[in-house]
Amino acid sequence: MADFSAASRHPPAMSDAQLLALSPLDGRYAGKVDALRPIFSEYGLIKARVKVEVEWLLALAAEPGIVELKPFSEAATARLRALADGLSVADAARVKEIERTTNHDVKAVEYLIKERLKDDAELAPALEFVHFACTSEDINNLSYSLMLNEARLSVMLPKLDELIQKLRAMAHEHAALPMLSRTHGQTASPSTVGKEIANVVARLQRQGELLAGAQMPGKINGAVGNYNAHVAAYPEVDWPAFSKRFVQSLGLDWQPYTTQIEPHDGIAELCDAQKRIDTICVDLCRDIWGYISLGYFKQAVKAGEVGSSTMPHKVNPIDFENAEGNFGIANALLEHFAAKLPISRWQRDLTDSTVLRALGTAFGHALIGYDALLRGLNKLSANPERLAADLDASWEVLAEAVQTVMRRHGLPNPYEQLKALTRGHGITAESMRAFIAGLDLPADAKQRLLDMTPGSYIGLADRLAREI
């Protein structure tokens, strides 16, 4: 198998192919998507197809009702699986060479397998059972489901977990660090930096669970989904039961009702789940961008790095901007997949086949988004002085606390009184405390309000951040 990690080990140097690449995934960002390359590339698709064809042949051989095909020995079974598991880039190139003659990519895979088996004494007699009763979509839908499942389990979910762990650590670190909140862009009841980050952790955890739990359906039921050819050849075999066992043996969820194509509703669900995760990440990128602008966070300065071509003082939030852009590209594609793939004319057309080949592009941009976001988070440090200064200039946010305590003790028109005091007026510590001092409140309640500052008015934010 080719070494897909070379680019990531030597990131500074760009090959001519990378410099001339049409897609940044194969150019500027090539090393950052190496983990997806053996899954979603043309090679990855061919390898998945070979696996499905091989496992189908093995399943047929193990079925007693298919009397013309005898069960294979352990050695022959091992040779077949070695063909699939050890498929090389050179083998995939041979498939593409065959395809130049067949002008059919799945048929080319069938011919490669037959080519490799023709001189095997035990396996050669089984040649005509390769691709038996299958339509191309039987192989394709299972292949794409295997690819998506592998990408989800081995790449996307681990990277999401890495992001969640980083954010959780930040939530705990800054659990008690007060921060002025803003609703509608206006000063609002304070929170803590950690609690705001904990909110994101909770959102990502929930959507990650939905991504992990999304079913990955597959079907193998013939040209229009009715087992027509299967039953014509072997009417005694329970083909739906056989199909179910086979699909589930691949680690996929059986789809019993289809036209020629698996309807792709499961892929749409998976894409929607990834899109929601990406959207949460965009939301986070924009918020942090704003907090950097306000000075709530500082960014580590990298030696030699330039923030602006004309303004030397700038340390731009480029990682968060890069992440937002890549998540946006990913979501544009994921949205198209979710809207288009469940639609096919009559029993099938080939628009889905065309679109499915771009799956790797969407997940590649999402992966780059994760990488950029993590890189940005690792450069951040909180700025307590700036956070405290904004809080100290915003004593009006205590109006919520004061009017709520007034309500408890039955004072008249608390909301209206605080509105008159605070709305459109500058409020200082002195004016707020003078107002509190004039209230007819129990001594303990009054003192609690007098002791309160914008920085201490954080409710259970500290606890909530630590419990995430």
Q: Residue 177 and residue 386: Cα distance in Å, rounded?
A: 12
Under a CB-based contact definition with an 8 Å cutoff, are residues 130 and 67 in contact?
no
Under a CB-based contact definition with an 8 Å cutoff, are residues 164 and 434 in contact?
no
Q: How far is CA 108 from the centre of its chain?
A: 32
Q: Residue 208 and residue 401: Cα distance in Å, rounded?
A: 36
Q: Name residues whose C-beta falls within 8 Å of residue 37's C-beta, 6 or more positions apart in sequence.
A: 4, 44
Under a CB-based contact definition with an 8 Å cutoff, are residues 53 and 130 in contact?
yes
Residue matched to tokens 């030696």: 303
Q: Residue 284 and residue 170: Cα distance in Å, rounded?
A: 13
Q: Residue 464 and residue 443: Cα distance in Å, rounded?
A: 30
- How many Cβ atoms from other residues are within 10 Å of residue 373's Cβ? 25
Q: Which helix (H) or strand (E) holds 37?
A: helix 37-40
Question: Got the DSSP string for 430-451?
Answer: HHHHHHHHTS---HHHHHHHHH
Residue matched to tokens 């998540």: 327
Q: Name residues whose C-beta falls within 8 Å of residue 178's C-beta, 6 or more positions apart in sequence.
A: 190, 191, 192, 387, 388, 391, 454, 455, 456, 458
Active site residue 189: no
Q: What is the 3-state secondary structure (H, E, C) of 277-314?
A: HHHHHHHHHHHHHHHHHHCCEEECCCCCCCCCCCCCCC
Active site residue 308: yes
Q: What is the 3-state secondary structure (H, E, C) of 248-286?
A: HHCCCEECCCCCCCCCCHHHHHHHHHHHHHHHHHHHHHH
Q: What is the 3-state secondary structure (H, E, C) of 216-252?
A: CEECCCCCCCCCHHHHHHCCCCCHHHHHHHHHHHCCC
154, 308, 409, 456: which is the annotated catalytic residue? 308
Q: How far is CA 159 from the centre of its chain?
A: 8
User: Identity (one letter) of the amino acid at 27?
Assistant: G
Q: Which residues are catalytic?
A: 184, 308
